[in-house]
Amino acid sequence: MEKQIEQMLVRLDAAEAHCNWTTDQLGGIHARLQADASRSSGLRRIKNRLVLPVLRRAVPLIFKAAGVAPGARDSAAFWLYERHRGLYDKLKDIAPGTFSVLETSTRNPEWQAQLKANAMASRMQGVPALSDVPNTREAVLANPHLDNLPRPLDSVIDTFSMATAQQDEELKEVARLSQARNGPVSVGFVVFLNGQGGEAIDRTLQSVFRQTDPSWELLLCAHQDPDDTVANWLDRDWRIRRVPAQNSEVEALIAAAGLSTSSFLGLITPGDVVDDDLVKRIGQLVAEREELMAVYTDEAIMHADGTESERFHKPGWSPDHQLAVNVLGRFLAIRKSMLLSLPCEPWQSSVAAEYLLSLRLVGQHAPAGHLEEVMYLRQDAPAGGSAPAVGGLLTEPALLAAAPEAQTYLQQTTDPGAIVLPDTQAGALRVRWSIPSALPVTLVILSNMRYRTVEGRGSFLMVLNFVNSVIAKSTYPNYKIIVVDDGYVPDELEAVLRSHGHSTATYHAEGAFSFAGKSNFATSLVPSGVVVLLNDDLEVIAPDWIEALVEQVCRPEVGVVGGQLLFPDGTIQHAGIAIGLNGSAGHVFMGHPSDASEYGRYASVIRNYGAVTGALMAYRKEVFDRLGGFDEFFRVDYNDIDFCLRCVAHGYRVVYTPYAKLYHFHNSTFNRTHDLGHERTEFLRRWQSWVDFDPYCGTRLGALCRENTHPAA
């Protein structure tokens, strides 16, 4: 026994010695760890306080400087992305905003394809169909496939019964959930349910769940909900909420604005889908232009087999186009503050409710931004159903419903004498603004007294034919004609003009012919009122062509108005000018039929352009004088376009109206040498930004509106 105790004491002494040794070792290790941590902490402080701030400033500056050569910049960034992904990701962590803009705006096709493929793979990996997700809050919160979604605050989970709270309470906690949002704005998607099937609703809501920016809400409004669809969705995610039942989509949108925590709201019809990047792209645009009251996107039709058709590429914000049709269409995100200012009016239950809602944007001069991408797909019409209205055109019932309500609104807010008429052929509304009584209108016709032979009509003096058609067909009561000649007037023309109280004036040209110089001289003959500048190779088609021009140009916000010119065979010669066509500028739809079958009916509705032709151009004399008239550097070419663009630069609109319709016997006024080199060079120097991007035609519309060859051109 004593021997066993002795052995145990020996073991205890050994264990104590071992523990002392271990303690000493641990002490040494701890001391070394503290020293390493101190050094590491010092390095971290240097990194956080010096290196990272320098890099955060340097990286954006480097990429901004590289923006002068965007192709080379994108190629270099793509090389870094592909070959040195670790370094690329670290730089992206340092300057996420710069790299986000770079990735979304890159023109490198290989990089675009790879980014899209990677994003799609990332989004689709392990994401189940929402119809397969258990319909309980606990199951959703525990589902690892949904870890990429923002999670609600613990206080919301613990304190509230979410289904009840989302229906009956203000949910101040929800307003605090902005901590989970990483975008500069949030978007509320309002879905009006009126007995649609579960498959359509599931498809729509899944497209919202796939958003790459989580800054969204789903606001469900059920007018008819026989299967309790709303109740079944409320527990799927804290961003899904119920709003009170309404009678229409627009009423639901306005009601939802008072209950939403989002800064913008827009409608989605069950069955339609939105692009995965919609919320992100809206946020990026609003971050660049904080003044925007609305953002809209391009759209298309989605068929049952997943294919797309009827892509509708829209222009930049064009207020006069919006008055004619609902060009904003879908997706349209409207700032909540604007929606909250609107009362629920009777028109909001009509078939033209969305058009009448967007009319408020025009009436309040609210700026709207355009995302030039197809980001909304409308479900194709079911068998026996009506097709969705892509293109903003209005059906005949919608036209008849919208016209009187739009007229009442415009008379109350803009012009007490405004009249709104339905144009069923174009699927559009024609707004006729009041014309001041006894407003003087002077038609100045530039002529060199040229004869021309026209097939089926023989040879005739162009200016005499035009003057006779003006006198015989025009219905405007208070106009005067001044024919500006080059020193010779045939007796027959002189007799016609004098017998109707009109006159001539001679332009004494010095040197080569100058359209700009002759136009300035002609306009100087008019003391006040409206001037309509005209070529002599025209012929009146529409009797109210003068009224169509004057009712637009007498508006204070409008600087120039142009009309529709047709070749003798009835095809379009002029329906507006797109800056950038042909490398400088060109006529849209030239050579196309004039039967309202052109893309988007863009030649058949009143709309805005950057420029119209000087062959038929109306302007107020005061505006002409304020801008200094035509720039006589542009002796032959670009003088009319330059004048229009200067009007836009001074805050005026350029308006095209198809209701001022005339024939144009093209290039009869003088032998014109197109595109003089030095004039083109100067035009590009002044207006290169417009050549690169004309907001009224955009990058895609330019190709769709491109002029055709025509034997008379």
Check: CB of residue 545 under 8 Å from CB of residue 474: yes
| Mean pLDDT confidence for 162-179 | 36
Q: Give pLDDT, residue 159.
A: 35
Q: How far, rounded to the nearest angstrom, does the alpha carbon of residue 161 sit from its chain's CA centroid? A: 41
Q: Give pLDDT, residue 124.
A: 41
Q: Is residue 358 part of a domain?
A: no
Give the bridge partners for 572, in sequence order: 566
How far is Cα 104 from Cα 689, in angstroms, rounded to an integer?
A: 21
Give the type of residue at 101: V
Pair 18, 85 in one domain? no
Neighbours of 28 (CB within 10 A): 10
- pLDDT for residue 20 is more than 90: no
For 3-59, what is the HEC assignment?
A: HHHHHHHHHHHHHHHHHHHHHHHHHHHHHHHHHHHHHHHHHHHHHHHHHHHHHHHHH
- pLDDT for residue 129 is more than 50: no
pLDDT digits (tens, 9 = 90+) for 80-108: 887 777 787 777 777 766 776 677 667 77
User: pLDDT band for position 520 (50/70/90)?
Assistant: very high
Q: Which domain holds residue 243?
A: 129-272
- DSSP sequence for 475-544: --SSEEEEEEESS---HHHHHHHHHTT-EEEE----SS--HHHHHHHHHHT--SSEEEEEESSEEE-STT
Pair 96, 134 in one domain? no
Q: Is residue 62 part of a domain?
A: no
- pLDDT for residue 645 is more than 90: yes
SS3 591: coil
Check: CB of residue 331 under 8 Å from CB of residue 273: no
For all residues of the chain together, what is the average pLDDT?
A: 80
Pair 94, 146 in one domain? no
Pair 632, 645 in one domain? yes
Q: Give pLDDT, residue 19.
A: 45
pLDDT digits (tens, 9 = 90+) for 556-570: 999 999 999 999 999
Residues in the chain: 713
| 632 burial level (CB within 10 Å; 0-12, 13-18, 19+) | middle
Total structural domains within the chain: 4
Phi, psi of 482, deg, nearest 5 = -125, 115
Q: Give pLDDT, residue 661.
A: 97
Q: Give pLDDT, residue 13.
A: 55
Check: CB of residue 504 under 8 Å from CB of residue 489: yes
How far is Cα 666 from Cα 625, in angstroms, rounded to an integer?
A: 29
Which of 57-61, 65-69, 156-160, 609-613 shows the lowest mean pLDDT across its residues? Answer: 156-160
- pLDDT for residue 284 is more than 70: yes
| Mean pLDDT confidence for 15-22 | 47
SS3 653: strand
Measure the N-to-C terminal CA separation of the chain; round to a whole number of Å. 125
Q: Give pLDDT, residue 371.
A: 94
Pair 576, 454 in one domain? yes
Q: Give pLDDT, residue 572.
A: 93
Q: Is residue 59 part of a domain?
A: no
Which of 165-169, 473-477, 576-580 shows the lowest mean pLDDT across its residues? Answer: 165-169
How far is Cα 706 from Cα 603, in angstroms, rounded to an integer?
A: 12
User: pLDDT band for position 706 (50/70/90)?
Assistant: low
Radius of gyration from C-alpha coordinates of the chain: 34
Q: Which of 217, 252, 272 is the last residue of a domain?
A: 272
pLDDT digits (tens, 9 = 90+) for 308-329: 888 888 999 999 999 999 999 9
Q: Give pLDDT, residue 128.
A: 41
Pair 452, 595 in one domain? yes
Pair 156, 105 in one domain? no
- Single out the residue of 449, 455, 452 nearest to residue 492, CA to CA: 449
Q: Give pLDDT, residue 667.
A: 64
- Single out the residue of 292, 291, 350 nearest to residue 326, CA to CA: 350
Tracing tokens 């007229």 back to the chain, one arrives at: 407
- pLDDT for residue 530 is more than 90: yes
